[in-house]
């Protein structure tokens, strides 16, 4: 079956909870649909950097983030429509459980489904249960009448007998089963403290995705899945202008390698669309940012896994210190912020010098999870007026910090005040927050 329409269609793959196997199934389904000859436009709900890189390998097309907490409904619709224009199917992977979000469920996969008007295929991990899975599906499907559950994809099915019990239990529900995938320990994707190991670190990721697809192929109903997809509908009020962050500069040098990979694709696209020239360099390869750059961006990532290489990257260090002396605007997020600091302490307690451009020492020797959406305001040279929508997710802690001008005043998604975040010294700015978009006017 193919999608018999000139207009792109879309669906959302969601789950009853985290760790239900949603990402693995998402990759396998995208690959199976590509094998069918369909052009798949992938997207990820929420502030995730790692899954979109996996999507790109599985589908052969760049993935985007659709964040219903940080982005307006108009922005979500415009970005989703643009992503889907040259494809047959917009395939969105959800985040956590379907209704899980921040305050009152804001930012959940369900809120994205409502904003885009797309149906949901619900992934259920049925290991250790049978008829109860049908009860869970019934409860989820009736929880919010504004969210359409088009079908159910059962994961980690144990045997043919187990599948028979499940199908028998679902027979009384108006919820078609579009797959009953057998469990396999061989299909687990490796992970670390911030989630899955990055796509770029897998030597044979393409082959792994092929194995996932091969494993799933006998157990999924691709025709049924395609039949659930609905038309991706543009904004009813026309093409509303996107709420975009201004470029950091006219010529932006961006660190990009295995240590600095947490970059939202929509930010780079928006900066290009606004006329900025982007160049990329690898600190791990001891590369310097372009000399003509008037702004330097150090995104987040995993610098803690590459401390010795960063400490010995003398050309990178010298170029960054020279740029700071020339007052080139610099901005570091999370891993980039730690790299701008004085030093970084590894998990085994070894302190390694960093760039020394901000008076902060961070540590993985005593970890503490900091996680959640943030509302930020600032008075700095950063070219972003008004408040900012951001996300914080890290285990590193601040070991010591000398006095410097705070960068951001911060609040949680529930508007609870937080201590100030980050530092500013001259033209150098950094914090643990990942900036997503201008803050919406209403939540």
Active site residues: 334
Q: Give me 69's structure tokens.
A: 């907490």
CA distances to 31, 181, 236 from 88, rounded to whole Å, are 14, 25, 21
d(CA 22, CA 246): 34
Of 76, 224, 80, nearest in space to 150 by CA = 224
- Terminal C-alpha separation, the chain: 41
Helix (H) or strand (E) holding 76: helix 73-84
Give the bridge partners for 411, in sequence order. Answer: 375, 417
3-state secondary structure of 56: helix
The alpha carbon dihedral of 312, 316, 319, 322 has a sign of negative
Of 408, 394, 402, nearest in space to 357 by CA = 402
Rg of the Cα atoms in the chain? 23
Q: Do 170 and 164 touch, CB atoms closer than 8 A?
A: no
d(CA 88, CA 321): 48
d(CA 58, CA 196): 15
Bridge-based pairing of strands 405-412 and 370-377 is antiparallel
Helix (H) or strand (E) holding 164: helix 160-170
**Backbone dihedral angles phi then psi of residue 312, each to the nearest 5 degrees:** -95, 5
């Amino acid at each position: 079956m193919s999608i018999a329409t000139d207009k792109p269609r879309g669906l959302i793959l969601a789950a009853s909870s985290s760790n239900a196997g949603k990402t693995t199934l998402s990759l396998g389904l995208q690959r199976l649909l590509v094998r069918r000859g369909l052009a798949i436009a992938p997207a990820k709900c929420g502030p995730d950097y790692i899954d979109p890189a996996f999507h790109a390998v599985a589908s052969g097309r760049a993935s985007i983030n659709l964040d219903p907490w940080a982005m307006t409904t108009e922005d979500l619709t415009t970005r989703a429509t643009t992503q889907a224009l040259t494809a047959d199917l917009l395939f969105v992977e959800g985040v956590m459980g379907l209704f899980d979000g921040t305050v009152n469920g804001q930012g959940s996969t369900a809120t994205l489904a409502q904003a885009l008007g797309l149906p949901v295929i619900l992934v259920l991990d049925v290991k250790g249960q049978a008829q109860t899975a049908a009860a869970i599906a019934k409860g989820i499907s009736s929880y919010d009448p504004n969210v359409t559950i088009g079908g159910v994809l059962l994961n980690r099915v144990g045997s043919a007998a187990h599948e028979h019990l499940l199908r028998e239990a679902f027979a009384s529900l108006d919820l078609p089963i579009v797959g009953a995938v057998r469990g396999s320990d061989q299909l687990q994707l490796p992970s670390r403290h911030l989630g899955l190991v990055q796509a770029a670190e897998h030597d044979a990721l393409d082959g792994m995705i092929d194995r996932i697809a091969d494993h799933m192929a006998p157990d999924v109903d691709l025709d049924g899945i395609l039949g659930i997809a609905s038309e991706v509908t543009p904004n009813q009020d026309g093409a509303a202008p996107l709420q975009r962050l201004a470029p950091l500069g006219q010529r932006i040098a961006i660190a990009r390698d295995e240590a600095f990979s947490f970059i939202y694709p929509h930010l780079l696209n928006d900066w290009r669309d606004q006329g900025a020239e982007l160049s990329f360099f690898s600190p791990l390869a001891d590369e310097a940012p372009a000399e003509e750059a008037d702004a330097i961006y150090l995104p987040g990532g995993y610098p803690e896994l590459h401390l010795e290489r960063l400490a010995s990257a003398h050309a990178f260090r010298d170029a960054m210190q020279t740029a700071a002396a020339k007052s080139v605007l610099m901005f570091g997020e999370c891993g980039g912020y730690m790299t701008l600091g004085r030093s970084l302490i590894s998990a085994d307690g070894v302190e390694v010098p960093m760039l020394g451009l901000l008076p902060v020492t961070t540590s993985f020797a005593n970890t503490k999870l900091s996680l959640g959406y943030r509302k930020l305001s600032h008075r700095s040279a950063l070219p972003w007026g008004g408040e900012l929508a951001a996300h914080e997710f890290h285990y590193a802690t601040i070991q010591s910090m000398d006095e410097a001008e705070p960068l951001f005043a911060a609040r949680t998604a529930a508007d609870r005040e937080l201590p100030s975040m980050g530092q500013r010294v001259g033209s150098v700015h950094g914090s643990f927050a990942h900036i997503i978009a201008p803050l919406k006017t209403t939540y």
